[in-house]
Chains A and B, each alone.
Chain A
Amino acid sequence: MKRVLTVVALLLALVGTAAFAQKTLVIAIQADPTGFDPEAVLNNTSGFVMSAVYDTLVQYKPGTVDVEPGLAQSWDISSDGLTYTFHLRHGVTFSDGTPFNANTYVKSLDRLFDKNDPAYIYNTGPVESYIHFTYDAVASYKALDAYTVQFKLKHPSAPFLTSLAMVWNGVVSPTAAAKYGKSFRNNPVGTGPFVFKEWVHNDHVTLDANPNYWGGKPKVDRVIFKVIPDAQTALLQMKQGQVQILADVSSQIIPAIKSDPNLKLVTQPGLTVNGIALPTDTKPFNDPRVRQALNYAIDRNAIDKSLYNDLAVPMTAPIPKAQWSYDDSLPAYTYDPAKAKQLLAEAGYPNGFKAELLAYNSARGYNPAGAQMAVAIQSYLKQIGVDVSIQQMEFGSFLSKVRSGDYHGMAMTGWSGDNGDPDNFLYELFDSATIPVGDTAHYKNDQVDNLLAQAQKETNHAQRVQLYQQAQKIIWQEAPWIFLNNTLQVRAARGARVPRPTGSRPVGRGTFA
């Protein structure tokens, strides 16, 4: 799940352009959202809409994973890391009139944990959430006074604070949650810059500006998220001015956007990793020399340039550069087919070997090139004598096969960071506890497991950095993956000239929608 390049950040990008006279902002999304309860719905499209409707206690500083005040204007953490005290912002109201204060905030948490709460979230339908991920370490919470909330933790958990900044922990109005019950996910109420107006399924979502927003009145009166499933159609509508932002930018239209002076790509360093998981428990992949050989066989720069339109950078560590504790001292896997062949020979495979590669056939956030990446890898591996046959599957079937634990071939893999904590990458992907669901390479290294367990409990930041760097060194050396690249988060926007009014009528007769 990736961090969301929020609507607010995009608005700032557009405001920078001259004469932004639009009253309605139209954003194209590729698929229909599935609901707007941040603790029950997890996909990125829904998250994008929710980021305009809800605020979180703390928020990420734009472009980073550091947190700054949100609905909490300040906070204190006890020296033992077990008590978090948040001082809430004054004068904030939910869009249904409910005041935001410690009491209502606590009530909004009750619906997540209290089975007897009338708005108990697990009674509202299927819940896909980060509730456990965020709050597992929490022993109790309460309101100390009208604007102070205190969390007591069972054990120190450094990721707790950064997790609170995720859009999935948006603060909902407890009154609305109780009022709407099961259909709260169709009637979101938050404190954010925009207020939900309507949702016509598979067609569009409309949000109106919140005139009383604590962060200042938004620069547009209305935001419409329009569902446009075809990338070319979306591009055409953006060229015509009916759409100002493309939330999902498909690789195929990137060259067209780059060559149009009226359009621009808005990018943010992604918190993503992308590569091929190697079955470390199966011959010949159980020999680290074989795995390293495969890493030396790939020309990452060429792939990034041609397949990813220069919107990706080669991986130089198991975690992305933007992630703190990233170790930049690791020796890169350069493009060196001779060395690759040598390593294979040393391992006993001078003539290479045959293998199977499982590929999913759609574009993912961490891999906009989809199955083409597998084809590129296949051609590079062929040059060193490794004959790879690709089996392509639709994503649902792919996930099910890879996670069954019975699959012992190579598989495409990747991950988008959730909360900017290294544990979110290293534990999920390389700890033996997550085999085979997260650790699809079936990689097991006791030393790594120990380092990660220690780092989860450690409160001292510098110490954690140390532990994670040690773990990274080992993982990088052992190469359980073919480490490929980190992709940038990309949106497209109209820049430079004044956008035309919405609607397809010619400018002369046009009016604002």
Chain B
Amino acid sequence: MLQYTVRRLLQLLPVIIGVSLLVFFAMHILPGDVATLLLGDRATKQQLVQLRHQLGLDKPIWVQYWAFLTSALQGDFGVSLRTNHPALRMVLQAFPVTFQLSVAALLVALAAGLPLGVLAGVRPGGWLDNAVLGVSLIGVSMPIFWLGLMLILVFGAHLNWLPIGGVLDIGQSVHRITGMPVLDAALEGRWSAFSSAVRHLILPAVTLATIPLALITRITRAEVVGALNHDYVRTARAKGVRERGVVLRHALRNGMIPVVTVVGLQFGLLLSGAVLTETIFSLPGLGRLMVDSILNRDYPVVQAGAIVVALVFVIINLLVDISYAYLDPRIRYQ
């Protein structure tokens, strides 16, 4: 197992290099450069040339890439062309917000999806099954943008139960330890900040959870239906195991592998930028940062962001693969 893990971790390096190459050249193919965007409507040719030279954009593209690669391998991703802040620091500041949101969304999706899937699976064709299938279809089809706004309108504006946006109440702040407001408030021991952070997380997490929820529900249902048809289930029932035990301990556990796979994939997708949710709920996360940086041709930030996301994706995939070995004893890695 250890050997396997190490081998997989070594694969990180070619993945990172590949990603950085792709992103680098994609960004440079895009028309429009950061100097034009920074100077905007007012820009003399002379100013454009001067700014481009300052930013090192007038060197040949291979030279630029090599300079980037050598410093990136030392941990220096350069500075944002727009704000002059270190690119990696900007990414690492935005990432925990998205991470917190993604974890919360997946927890919601699992907490609702697993039970619903099981309930639907034990009585396929029943009214609950049809209801669940219908709801999950709606969940997958509904535009996140619209759902987010509707939730804000109902729970935020009309009922006034939950906040409209942001990570904390306006004017409130927490000492930055991990960058995740909920965790930082808890670590600081400040109850008001903690409850504020949690309340600000509820609506965006629910909004973002709809698609993973739909997928998890369906897959769990399918797995439960499939598992309940197997012989070992008949045996368990014959042995006198109570129905609940049959379903949960036998059928569900064997069906977890596809669920774990979906969760892993969804997590990666959510992390790489829940842009729409972050925009509607004014969350300073990685999705918004990436989109803004691309539109502003802020190459260093896009690079740093893409690589961080690729890294996280690879690690999550690795964790998912390792978990298979625990879920299914038949699986062994060399």
Distance in Å: Cβ of B297 to nearest Cβ of chain A: 6
- Tell me what chain B mostly uses at the interface: helix, strand, loop, or mixed: loop
Are the CB atoms of B170 and A242 closer together than 8 Å?
yes
The CA of A18 and the CA of B48, in the complex, are separated in Å by 49
Determine whether A428 belongs to the interface, using a CB cutoff of 8 Å to chain B.
yes
Are the CB atoms of A504 and B160 closer together than 8 Å?
yes
- B39 / chain A contacts, CB cutoff of 8 Å: 42, 128
The CA of A403 and the CA of B39, in the complex, are separated in Å by 13
Question: Taking CB as reference atom, which chain B residue is nearest A428?
Answer: B42
Determine whether B31 belongs to the interface, using a CB cutoff of 8 Å to chain A.
yes
Question: Residues 14-32 of chain A: 1 if any B CB is under 8 Å from the residue's CB, otherwise 0?
Answer: 0000000000101000011
Are the CB atoms of B54 and A126 closer together than 8 Å?
yes
Q: When the two chains form the complex, which single residue of A124, A202, A229, A396 contacts B94, counting CB atoms closer than 8 Å?
A: A202
Determine whether B218 belongs to the interface, using a CB cutoff of 8 Å to chain A.
no
- A415 / chain B contacts, CB cutoff of 8 Å: 41
For chain A residues 173-219, which have a beta carbon within 8 Å of chain B?
182, 185-186, 198, 200-204, 206
Determine whether A261 belongs to the interface, using a CB cutoff of 8 Å to chain B.
no
Question: Taking CB as reference atom, which chain B residue is nearest A440?
Answer: B41
Are the CB atoms of B295 and A230 closer together than 8 Å?
no
Question: Taking CB as reference atom, which chain B residue is nearest A243?
Answer: B170
Determine whether B292 belongs to the interface, using a CB cutoff of 8 Å to chain A.
yes
The CA of A128 and the CA of B81, in the complex, are separated in Å by 11
Are the CB atoms of B33 and A400 closer together than 8 Å?
yes
Q: When the two chains form the complex, which single residue of B32, B54, B82, B280 contacts A399, counting CB atoms closer than 8 Å?
A: B32
- B51 / chain A contacts, CB cutoff of 8 Å: 126-128
Determine whether B152 belongs to the interface, using a CB cutoff of 8 Å to chain A.
yes
Choose among A228, A438, A506 the residue with the greatest number of B CB atoms under 10 Å from its CB. Answer: A228
- B45 / chain A contacts, CB cutoff of 8 Å: 437
Determine whether A444 belongs to the interface, using a CB cutoff of 8 Å to chain B.
no
The CA of A186 and the CA of B83, in the complex, are separated in Å by 9
The CA of A201 and the CA of B301, in the complex, are separated in Å by 14
Q: When the two chains form the complex, which single residue of A34, A418, A437 contacts B44, counting CB atoms closer than 8 Å?
A: A437
- B279 / chain A contacts, CB cutoff of 8 Å: 229-230
The CA of A242 and the CA of B200, in the complex, are separated in Å by 14
Q: When the two chains form the complex, which single residue of A1, A124, A506 contacts B42, counting CB atoms closer than 8 Å?
A: A1
Question: Residues 162-191 of chain B: 1 if any A CB is under 8 Å from the residue's CB, otherwise 0?
Answer: 111111011111000000000000000000
Question: Quick one: given A34-B82, A397-B30, are A204 and B295 in contact (CB under 8 Å)?
Answer: no
Determine whether A260 belongs to the interface, using a CB cutoff of 8 Å to chain B.
no
For chain A residues 118-139, which have a beta carbon within 8 Å of chain B?
122, 124-128, 132-133
Are the CB atoms of A24 and B171 closer together than 8 Å?
yes
Determine whether B84 belongs to the interface, using a CB cutoff of 8 Å to chain A.
yes
Are the CB atoms of B297 and A233 closer together than 8 Å?
no
The CA of A1 and the CA of B81, in the complex, are separated in Å by 20
The CA of A255 and the CA of B32, in the complex, are separated in Å by 35
Distance in Å: Cβ of B47 to nearest Cβ of chain A: 8
The CA of A358 and the CA of B236, in the complex, are separated in Å by 70
Determine whether B79 belongs to the interface, using a CB cutoff of 8 Å to chain A.
yes
The CA of A126 and the CA of B51, in the complex, are separated in Å by 7
Are the CB atoms of A396 and B32 closer together than 8 Å?
yes
Determine whether B221 belongs to the interface, using a CB cutoff of 8 Å to chain A.
no
- B167 / chain A contacts, CB cutoff of 8 Å: 203
The CA of A301 and the CA of B40, in the complex, are separated in Å by 29
Determine whether B281 belongs to the interface, using a CB cutoff of 8 Å to chain A.
yes
The CA of A230 and the CA of B146, in the complex, are separated in Å by 12
Question: Quick one: given A239-B157, A503-B171, are A227 and B83 in contact (CB under 8 Å)?
Answer: no
Determine whether A240 belongs to the interface, using a CB cutoff of 8 Å to chain B.
yes
The CA of A441 and the CA of B103, in the complex, are separated in Å by 52
Question: Residues 257-288 of chain B: 1 if any A CB is under 8 Å from the residue's CB, otherwise 0?
Answer: 00000000000000000000001111010001
Determine whether A284 belongs to the interface, using a CB cutoff of 8 Å to chain B.
no
- A204 / chain B contacts, CB cutoff of 8 Å: 170
- B160 / chain A contacts, CB cutoff of 8 Å: 240, 504, 506
The CA of A132 and the CA of B288, in the complex, are separated in Å by 34
Are the CB atoms of A124 and B84 closer together than 8 Å?
yes
Q: When the two chains form the complex, which single residue of A128, A200, A239 contacts B284, counting CB atoms closer than 8 Å?
A: A200
Number of B interface residues, CB 8 Å?
Answer: 57
Are the CB atoms of A394 and B295 closer together than 8 Å?
yes
Question: Taking CB as reference atom, which chain A residue is nearest B43?
Answer: A437
Determine whether A462 belongs to the interface, using a CB cutoff of 8 Å to chain B.
no
Distance in Å: Cβ of A476 to nearest Cβ of chain B: 22
Distance in Å: Cβ of B283 to nearest Cβ of chain A: 9
Determine whether A316 belongs to the interface, using a CB cutoff of 8 Å to chain B.
no
Question: Residues 190-210 of chain B: 1 if any A CB is under 8 Å from the residue's CB, otherwise 0?
Answer: 000000000100000000000
Determine whether A226 belongs to the interface, using a CB cutoff of 8 Å to chain B.
yes
- A396 / chain B contacts, CB cutoff of 8 Å: 30-33, 36-37, 295-297
Determine whether A477 belongs to the interface, using a CB cutoff of 8 Å to chain B.
no
Question: Residues 120-138 of chain B: 1 if any A CB is under 8 Å from the residue's CB, otherwise 0?
Answer: 0000000000000000000
Q: When the two chains form the complex, which single residue of A186, A230, A401 contacts B31, counting CB atoms closer than 8 Å?
A: A401
Distance in Å: Cβ of B100 to nearest Cβ of chain A: 14
- B246 / chain A contacts, CB cutoff of 8 Å: none
- A128 / chain B contacts, CB cutoff of 8 Å: 38-39, 51
Are the CB atoms of A237 and B164 closer together than 8 Å?
yes
For chain B residues 273-331, which have a beta carbon within 8 Å of chain A?
279-282, 284, 288-289, 292, 295-297
- A200 / chain B contacts, CB cutoff of 8 Å: 173, 284
Determine whether A314 belongs to the interface, using a CB cutoff of 8 Å to chain B.
no
For chain B residues 29-85, which have a beta carbon within 8 Å of chain A?
30-33, 36-45, 47-48, 51, 54-55, 79, 81-85
Determine whether A489 belongs to the interface, using a CB cutoff of 8 Å to chain B.
no
- B37 / chain A contacts, CB cutoff of 8 Å: 395-396, 399
- B79 / chain A contacts, CB cutoff of 8 Å: 125
Choose among A229, A395, A438, A505 the residue with the greatest number of B CB atoms under 10 Å from its CB. Answer: A229
Determine whether A236 belongs to the interface, using a CB cutoff of 8 Å to chain B.
yes
Question: Quick one: given A31-B292, A126-B84, A227-B284, are A502 and B171 in contact (CB under 8 Å)?
Answer: yes
Question: Quick one: given A128-B38, A504-B163, are A236 and B83 in contact (CB under 8 Å)?
Answer: no
* 30 intermolecular pairs with C-beta atoms under 8 Å apart: A1-B42, A34-B83, A42-B40, A126-B51, A126-B55, A186-B85, A200-B284, A201-B93, A224-B170, A226-B166, A227-B284, A228-B166, A228-B282, A233-B152, A233-B280, A236-B152, A239-B157, A240-B156, A394-B32, A396-B37, A396-B297, A437-B45, A437-B48, A503-B170, A503-B172, A504-B160, A506-B160, A513-B169, A513-B170, A513-B171
A-B pairs, 3 with minimum CB distance: A513-B171, A396-B32, A202-B284
Q: Which residues of chain B have a CB within 8 Å of any CB of chain A?
A: 30-33, 36-45, 47-48, 51, 54-55, 79, 81-85, 90, 93-94, 149, 152-153, 156-157, 160, 162-167, 169-173, 199, 279-282, 284, 288-289, 292, 295-297
Could you list 7 further interchain pairs (A-B, Cβ under 8 angstroms) beyond the known A201-B284, A513-B171? A1-B42, A24-B171, A233-B165, A396-B32, A438-B44, A502-B169, A504-B160
